[in-house]
Chains A and B, each alone.
Chain A
């Protein structure tokens, strides 16, 4: 048998890329692949969005595919509904978390329930990109963590990436989804960099799978979006004290990956939910309840929450006191009746 020497595979070069670049690349690739994908929002054209995520799209695909709209969030999302009714796949950019609120009526009364009210006849494949969360020194209305509102609305998928690679994969999956997706972009991770290969980007398995970012044996930190790097840092810091923390990155709040989360907590017996948004009525309460229901007999301690305070988002100079940081996470871990020798 003659073997032909395989051409040495030129390993594609990884380059440092930011999350914002990966998101932009996901939009570009989706638009190139599917002519029905349209991007619309405020300043998404010539400016490329205030975070530059849509940079270059209008130049490459024209203003009909990447459209600067009038300044009206309800109008942006409302017209996107009509566009989706006619067979397009609109990707809507909301400029900042708190500026998506004018569009809530459209989101909740129409986007989330069009499939349901038409008994499946009219699904709406709309992706609503919402930059969210704090830590960037933004003034009022530029740092809200609004995920609790979205996850309380049946019919929406709610996803949030924490890594450059997931940002690409999850956004591709969201745009490809036949259901509306609220795509929460952690603002303070926009400029986080990772080695990433834009020529061979990773797509992601279907929306709804959590991932263990760091395996551990002593307790599970359940988190998502902007708090993932904080939890990983906390886990590193805890190691010095003999604590071996597992970090689960949910990636998707709806659907919720009960399986991965419960499997982790059953292994470790202890859990802390970490997120930026307020604790009261926040996702942590729901997650703690689900974990308790599924893992009660495996739990060595109550499921704890480390969340933002239940206050309107504070001014920039005070936000460091509000955001859950490494110390607050470690405090919670200590409260899990930790036995140093285990």
Chain B
């Protein structure tokens, strides 16, 4: 008797019933970017919040123009301006509580300032006198990350650790549209969803990665759609609408805090300036494209809303403008001071304890510095 005969007639066993792990429908983003300003939804927003957002937008714009000017004067090594994207930056900072953490990328100086870091310290990296000008733990702001998307897994790990400790802390991590193509973006989102980590990912889709337009970056219907594949909700929002940004991010932060897991938010916005001062944007885009966005400027949108509803008078406008000017003047003054650098610092923070190799190299540099200062003294005589 064959084995087959022993068993009886061969009947394929059906596989165990297949079930989708998650219902994809609630995770899908809206078809259109979510808007608040200029719609009925705006009436539900606290007028004080709208005024605050307006003031921060104006301040943020002034910061961007000032920092760009400082680059032209050679005071900053580089400045990637977020002009046009201020609503994303401000909302990212204001959606967080003090105990939460912000994980910015190199373009997000403004978010860091809006979170409360002193405007001059926020420029340390871009000025070039050191890499990070603040204690991340003190401000709960990770160092500005230059390698794209690499800060996203950090945000997940930190949020995960905080959740294990039961601290109710949320991490908000920022990345550009180009950065979503990096492997770290994928790994971070996947870890976050599997661990249900309290993280919010904010993609600022400003149209370009240096010169490469979004169409060459992804074939996805939207970047927010990517969320579904990880099992987290994706939200598509008008990145120039500060009220919409604030609402969507605040909701995502609240959801994360309550144990609802991560959210991917795509903010549709536009980079009004070149990538940095070193970039020539005329090589890859038309001025007419930029002009089309001018009418959708985040400050303009907010100003219209406030004015139409009688929430903004000339006095307040002047006050907001003056405050922004004062901040810019302060920043200028700070950045025009020569930084005081100690070359011996080069060896101080490589390891907790210097290796004998570094001690030798430090001694070499110290000797070189002594010779140089003696020579300078002699020359002065």
| B352 engages A179 (CB within 8 Å) | yes
Number of A-B residue pairs at CB separation under 8 A: 140
| B132 engages A118 (CB within 8 Å) | yes
CB of A72 closer than 8 Å to a CB of B: yes
| A110 engages B352 (CB within 8 Å) | no
| A82 engages B161 (CB within 8 Å) | yes
CB of A204 closer than 8 Å to a CB of B: no
In the complex, the chain A residue whose C-beta lies closest to that of B171 is A82
CB of B46 closer than 8 Å to a CB of A: no
| A72 engages B187 (CB within 8 Å) | yes
In the complex, the chain A residue whose C-beta lies closest to that of B348 is A120
| A119 engages B153 (CB within 8 Å) | no
Cross-interface CB contact of B131 among A64, A69, A85, A117, cutoff 8 Å: A117
Q: What's the nearest-Cβ distance from chain A to residue B352, in Å? A: 5
| B131 engages A75 (CB within 8 Å) | no
Q: What's the nearest-Cβ distance from chain A to residue B136, in Å? A: 5
Inter-chain contacts of A179 with B (CB < 8 A): 351-352
Cα distance, A123 to B135, chains bound together (Å) = 11
Inter-chain contacts of B345 with A (CB < 8 A): 119
Q: What's the nearest-Cβ distance from chain A to residue B378, in Å? A: 32
| B187 engages A75 (CB within 8 Å) | yes
B348-375 Cβ-contact flags toward A at 8 Å (1 or 0): 1111100111000000000000000000
A interface, size bucket: 35 or more
| B132 engages A119 (CB within 8 Å) | yes
| B184 engages A105 (CB within 8 Å) | yes
CB of A316 closer than 8 Å to a CB of B: no
Inter-chain contacts of B142 with A (CB < 8 A): 85
Cross-interface CB contact of B137 among A115, A119, A121, cutoff 8 Å: A121
Cα distance, A6 to B187, chains bound together (Å) = 60
| B355 engages A117 (CB within 8 Å) | no
Cα distance, A133 to B131, chains bound together (Å) = 36
Cα distance, A90 to B356, chains bound together (Å) = 27
| B162 engages A110 (CB within 8 Å) | no
In the complex, the chain B residue whose C-beta lies closest to that of A77 is B153
Cross-interface CB contact of B161 among A83, A102, A259, cutoff 8 Å: A83
Inter-chain contacts of A90 with B (CB < 8 A): 157
Inter-chain contacts of B183 with A (CB < 8 A): 74, 102
14 contacts between A and B (CB under 8 A): A74-B184, A75-B153, A75-B191, A79-B160, A83-B160, A84-B157, A85-B137, A86-B162, A106-B150, A106-B184, A118-B132, A122-B136, A256-B356, A259-B356
